[in-house]
Amino acid sequence: MDILKDSKLLLVSLFIILLAEAIGQIKISLVMVFPMLYSMLMGGIISFPKFKILNEKNMAHATSIMSVALVILIAKLSTSVGASWEKIIQAGGALVLQEVGHFIGTILLGLPLAIMLGMGREAVGATYSVGREPNIAIIEAKYGLSSPEGRGVMAMYICGTLYGAVWMGILASVIAGLDILSPLALAMGAGVGSGSMLAAAVAPLLELYPDQAADIQAFSSSANLMSSVLGLYIYIFFSLPFASYLYNKFKGKRATATADTNKDN
């Protein structure tokens, strides 16, 4: 009940919503910017501690409201699964295969780059997954959050929380604007196991493909559910061991190359 009595938070939220909706959609080259995107940016600016507009209590209330709102959103998206059940069954193989991209992309692309930038074992925790709550739990159980791997996954969790939804919204808008992939493929790609990222990525798809709105919601929510359930086991039994193995391989080669260079000198 304290949340409902937080008039400052409710008024600030209402102001952001009304301003974002008043601005409407803005197209910048290939990027279609939607109200949800700059409402998040406005919220981030207003909540900056230096401005002293919102205090820690307001922030705690906002977090609680966000948790409830995301549950409602996921429930709403999930109700569209039944109507598109046959299409989802037909795309079963694609749904499973797109799950591979959630961890293969982060490992094969992110891990070498992280090592090149000088990261240690933090690179394993940072790149073995998309770094959401279940992924933190896996690292905590295996290494502990005070370990390098723990610092890595927590760094990615913070970055994902701050920038993940904004990035997903822009990325989905740009790729959809290029018209090189099916909107249903983009919908599946939006389901990375994060409610906020899902919402940010689905919003531009619903605006650009209103005639396929029901299918987009169904495929995105199905992919998100699969990422949350099936993805957990993939992260435990394949992704994390694979990331650790690759890290040791890359580090071993870099150490050998460095030793050879020093010997030549």
| pLDDT 10s digits, 209-227 | 999 998 998 888 888 877 7
Is the domain of 18 the same as that of 148?
no
Is the domain of 115 the same as that of 189?
yes
Is the domain of 101 the same as that of 33?
no
Residue 75 lies in a domain: no
Last residue of a domain, one of 69, 88, 120: 69
Query: Are 247 and 121 spatial neighbours (Cβ–Cβ below 8 Å)?
Result: yes
Is the domain of 60 the same as that of 191?
no
Is the domain of 173 the same as that of 250?
yes
Residue 5 DSSP class: T
Residue 163 lies in a domain: yes
Q: How many domains in the chain?
A: 2
* pLDDT higher than threshold 60 for residue 264: no
Place of tokens 């990325």: 171
Is the domain of 114 the same as that of 8?
no
Is the domain of 132 the same as that of 244?
yes
Range of the domain at 54: 1-69
What separation, in Å, do the N-terminal and C-terminal C-alpha atoms of the chain show? Answer: 70
Q: What is the overall mean pLDDT for the chain?
A: 81
Residue 87 lies in a domain: no
Give 70-112 pLDDT, tens digit per residue. Answer: 667 667 666 666 666 676 677 667 777 777 776 677 888 889 9
CA distance 158 to 131: 9
* pLDDT value of residue 262: 52
Is the domain of 64 the same as that of 187?
no
Residue 264 lies in a domain: no
The b-or-e profile of 147-159 (16+ CB within 10 A means b, else e) is bbbbbbbbebbee
Q: Which two tokens stand for residue 184?
A: 């249903």
CA distance 220 to 191: 5
Q: Shortest CA distance to 183 belongs to which of 160, 203, 163? A: 203
* pLDDT value of residue 242: 92
Residues in the chain: 265
* pLDDT higher than threshold 60 for residue 259: no
pTM: 0.65
CA distance 176 to 193: 20
Is the domain of 48 the same as that of 105?
no
Is the domain of 47 the same as that of 102?
no
Is the domain of 103 the same as that of 54?
no
The b-or-e profile of 1-28 (16+ CB within 10 A means b, else e) is eeeeebeebeebbeebeeebeeeeeeee
Is the domain of 105 the same as that of 197?
yes
